[in-house]
Amino acid sequence: MKMQKLLERWQSLSPSPEARRTVGLELGVHDLARINALAELYPGRTPALLMAELLHVALDELQEALPYVNGSRQVGEDEFGQPLYEDIGPTPRFLTLTQKHLKALEHH
């Protein structure tokens, strides 16, 4: 999800349906002031929910920004018949670790 979609969700007041866990978080005073300002702009959202949704979007954008690094092993072909090579950059490892931690969280 991109920031624009998040702003549209905030306008509609519909919260994210994803399961949640509580975690401690330290913020700079300026960032906390901005979160509180958003809570006033979008009164249907608590500061905690705003932070969770902002973090979700930031993580999505971070995942998209992880560099693709061509490996030497061909894993398929694109729609034009050009070879596709495995990604040996950080993305596959990040996705594997995400699944590992998601399974652990689901079992607790």
This prediction's pTM: 0.77
Q: Is the pLDDT of residue 19 over 80?
A: no
Question: Among 37, 87, 34, which residue's Cα sits nearest to residue 63?
Answer: 87
Q: What is the pLDDT of residues 94-107, one digit of tens each?
A: 999 999 999 999 98
Q: Is the pLDDT of residue 13 over 80?
A: no
